[in-house]
């Protein structure tokens, strides 16, 4: 089955840039979606189809995808961005959906 | 306004059956997928399965195939996740989410249903 690997944690100072990676075999050929989950809350879609943002999501959230790595970038990080982040793809070969292992973003 | 409202928390004993629900409103329920996602305590998100209420097309993750049943009643815009015999390891938060797009991102989520299985 298709596996998506994320770093367990990323730490970043306020105002700096956080980059969260999502590794998978030839993930560049797939569409990657990203979710933010704050403690005690349901996940929220922050980026879809590699780099598009749903309405209401700040422009500070952006995404890219190439080769074996997709990246969620959070610019000008704020305290409110502290959360767990998950990538997700649809694996067409199996017709299954897969979530990444998740990354906890800590704002220092 | 799109909303997915899930049924309330459940406390069950091992071996008991359970059916939890997810009611959609504010959109055409039959035109979007509904996915189910498990989150065990302190752990990540796991895709369990997905259903298209329009024609009841259903797919399951291999990890959950045969362990749960996903269904939908389009007459009342409600999707279901059910177990015939719960285990302690089924203790988790369960989310439903609306799936949209060619590669199905989950754009709206329910509030979650906490299922606790304990003797």
- Put simply, whether A1 touches B (Cβ < 8 Å) is yes
Mean pLDDT within B59-76:
96
For chains A and B, CB pairs below 8 A equal 64
At A36 the pLDDT is 98
Distance (Å, whole) CA B119 – CA A77: 45
At B102 the pLDDT is 82
- Put simply, whether B57 touches A (Cβ < 8 Å) is no
CB contact under 8 A, B62 and A48: no
CB contact under 8 A, B105 and A33: yes
- Put simply, whether A35 touches B (Cβ < 8 Å) is yes
CB contact under 8 A, A96 and B111: no
Q: In the beta sheet, which residues pair with residue B4?
A: B24
At B29 the pLDDT is 97
Each residue's pLDDT tens digit in chain A (108 positions)?
899 999 999 999 999 999 999 999 999 999 999 999 999 999 999 999 999 999 999 999 999 999 999 999 999 999 999 999 999 999 988 889 999 999 999 999
At A1 the pLDDT is 86
Q: Dump pLDDT digits (tens) for A24-53.
A: 999 999 999 999 999 999 999 999 999 999
Q: Dump pLDDT digits (tens) for B83-100.
A: 999 999 999 999 999 999
Instruction: Answer for the pair A82, A105: CB distance below 8 angstroms, yes or no.
Output: yes
Distance (Å, whole) CA B29 – CA B89: 31
Distance (Å, whole) CA B39 – CA B65: 17
Instruction: Answer for the pair A73, A63: CB distance below 8 angstroms, yes or no.
Output: yes
Nearest-neighbour CA in chain A from B87: distance (Å):
24
Position B103 pLDDT exceeds 90: no
Instruction: Answer for the pair A30, A90: CB distance below 8 angstroms, yes or no.
Output: yes
Confidence of residue B47 (pLDDT cuts 50, 70, 90): very high
Distance (Å, whole) CA A83 – CA A2: 25
Instruction: Answer for the pair A36, A47: CB distance below 8 angstroms, yes or no.
Output: no
Taking CA atoms, what residue in B is nearest to A46?
Answer: B107
**Which of A31, A86, A97 shows the shortest C-beta gap to B44?**
A86
At A16 the pLDDT is 97
């Amino acid at each position: 089955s298709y596996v998506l690997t994320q770093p367990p944690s990323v730490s970043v100072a306020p105002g700096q840039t956080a980059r969260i990676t999502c590794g998978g075999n030839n993930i560049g050929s797939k569409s990657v979606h990203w979710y933010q989950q704050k403690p005690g809350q349901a996940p929220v879609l922050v980026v879809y189809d590699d780099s598009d943002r749903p309405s209401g999501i700040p422009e500070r959230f952006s995404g890219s995808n190439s080769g074996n790595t997709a990246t969620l970038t959070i610019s000008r990080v704020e305290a409110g961005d502290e959360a767990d982040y998950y990538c997700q793809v649809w694996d067409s070969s199996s017709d299954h959906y897969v979530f990444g292992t998740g990354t906890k973003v800590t704002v220092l | 306004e799109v909303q997915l409202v899930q049924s309330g928390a459940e406390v069950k004993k091992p071996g008991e059956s359970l059916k939890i629900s997810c009611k959609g409103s504010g959109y055409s329920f039959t035109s979007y997928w509904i996915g189910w996602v498990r989150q065990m305590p302190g752990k990540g998100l796991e895709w369990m399965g997905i259903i298209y209420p329009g024609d009841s097309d259903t797919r399951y993750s291999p990890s959950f195939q045969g362990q749960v049943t996903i269904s939908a009643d389009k007459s009342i815009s409600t999707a279901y996740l059910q177990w015939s015999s719960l285990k302690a390891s089924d203790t988790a938060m369960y989310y439903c989410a609306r799936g949209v797009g060619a590669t199905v991102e989950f754009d709206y989520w329910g509030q979650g249903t906490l299922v606790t299985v304990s003797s």
